[in-house]
Amino acid sequence: MKNPAHALFLLFALPISAGEPITYDNLPLGSESKPLLLSTYMPDPGLDEAYFAHHGKSAKSPKYNPGTGKDIPGEYDPIKGLPASLGVSFGPALSYAFDTVECRIAYAWQGGFLDMYPYWGDPVRGSRQSYDYVPQLVGILFHKANPMSEIFVDGKRLTDLDHPKFVGYNLENGTPAFLFSRGGHEFKLKVTPNTKTPLSFSFTLSSPDKIAITYDTPNGDRTTNTLTRTVTGTALGNFQGFPRDMKIKEASVANGRKLFDGLGCSACHSVDGSLGHGPSLAGLYGSKRPIEGTQELVHADEAYILESIKNPGAKTAKGFPPNYMPPYILKDLEYQSLVLYIKSVAKGQ
């Protein structure tokens, strides 16, 4: 198989379980009861060089020529992402990347999953022209693995134990549990979302041996060979997937909804009143808005909504962090569509 991307396609096409069928155009998302697992190159959201201890530096992927839409024969680029990874989505509450080379959770994020578009590409003459081989993240990154694991096994740091070896995974009630060995021990790692504190995940490590598995300290009770952790994080980055031309030809509520999801607004804003990283936009239009640093209420009219999208730093909605929402540079029809959509959700459509 010359092109590794072809091999990957088969895996992409066989999701373990999915809420809805994955198409070229949607953003795949799992749920807590039906997690979605994709075997894929995962993007690297800025992991420390030292994290990649066992990733071969020579791993390469064919070099892509955007002009012809084909690989350049004989030319190779270093792979931009994490090969041999598994992306798991529990829905907007939690997604994480399990790296089968390091046998670790590489990172975790919220508010979305993956945008496969750069891999699947655009339709061209009955086929598809892809952009590169790595899907892009959608949502808010809140956890990145440190090069040195915080987990200690029998007094030794997990990342100091000899070669990690991925064995496979089981589905336990639909939730993947990863099996691997390291330093002569066998481990099982399972992530289950914690609904009470959404920005957290917990995992369990188990081994048939009588060894202590501890966190942040080398010492522990040798009869405990299970560790459960909840890792809370803060926002480390905001990812909006692959920028694409949504070919908006008219300003409409329907186009606004498409943009709202496609641009990743929905990663931070609900339209049903529930709280996310940003205020819910339900009922916003026409309301009086408290603003940080002033007692004055601002009328949330079209101009206010437009300003909030073009220049979020101008006024910060009370109770929310400043400079958190990225500014969006869009076409006029796109701004107008978003405003129409936000106006429509105020009426509870």
Residue 150 or 307: the one with the smaller Cβ distance to ligand HEC is 307
Query: Does 324 contact ligand HEC by CB under 6 A?
Result: yes
Considering only 199, 338, 340, 345, the residue that binds ligand HEC (CB under 6 A) is: 338
Shortest distance in whole angstroms from residue 36 CB to ligand HEC? 21
Print burial letters for 153-189: b (CB count within 10 Å at least 16), e (below 16).
bbeeebbebeebebeebeeeeebbbbbbbbeebebbb
CB contact at 8 A, 188 and 171: no
CA distances from 262 to 113, 135, 187, 271, 330 (A): 12, 15, 38, 15, 13
State residue 327 phi and psi, 5-degree precision.
-70, 145
Nearest CA to 85 out of 19, 138, 147, 133 is that of 133
Residue 165 or 289: the one with the smaller Cβ distance to ligand HEC is 289
Query: Does 317 contact ligand HEC by CB under 6 A?
Result: yes
Query: Does 269 contact ligand HEC by CB under 6 A?
Result: yes
Query: Does 86 contact ligand HEC by CB under 6 A?
Result: no
Could you tell me which residues come within 8 angstroms of residue 123 by beta carbon, excluding any fewer than 6 positions away?
Answer: 24, 129
CB contact at 8 A, 170 and 153: no
Please state, in angstroms and rounded to a whole number, the distance separating the CA atoms of residues 348 and 273.
Answer: 10
Please state, in angstroms and rounded to a whole number, the distance separating the CA atoms of residues 2 and 56.
Answer: 19
Per-residue contact flags (x/-) with ligand HEC for residues 215 to 254, judged by CB under 6 A: -----------------------x----------------
CB contact at 8 A, 209 and 224: no
The structure tokens 């390469």 sit at 60
Residue 9 or 320: the one with the smaller Cβ distance to ligand HEC is 320
Considering only 37, 114, 213, 309, the residue that binds ligand HEC (CB under 6 A) is: 309
Shortest distance in whole angstroms from residue 91 CB to ligand HEC? 17
Query: Does 199 contact ligand HEC by CB under 6 A?
Result: no
Considering only 15, 320, 333, 346, the residue that binds ligand HEC (CB under 6 A) is: 320
Cα angle for residues 192, 195, 196 (degrees, 5° grid): 130
Q: Give Dmax over CA atoms of the chain in angstroms.
A: 66
Question: Residue length, the chain?
Answer: 349
**Looking at 73-81, 113-121, 151-159, 275-283, which segment touches ligand HEC (CB under 6 A)?**
275-283
Query: Does 316 contact ligand HEC by CB under 6 A?
Result: yes
Touching ligand HEC, residues 287-306 (CB under 6 A): 289, 305
Considering only 145, 284, 340, 345, the residue that binds ligand HEC (CB under 6 A) is: 284
Query: Does 277 contact ligand HEC by CB under 6 A?
Result: yes
Per-residue contact flags (x/-) with ligand HEC for residues 127 to 146, judged by CB under 6 A: -------------x------
Task: Count the Cβ atoms, other than its own, within 10 Å of residue 79.
Answer: 18
* Positions in the binding site for ligand HEC (CB under 6 A): 140, 238, 263-265, 267-269, 277-279, 281, 284, 289, 305, 308-309, 312, 316-317, 320-321, 324-325, 328, 338, 342
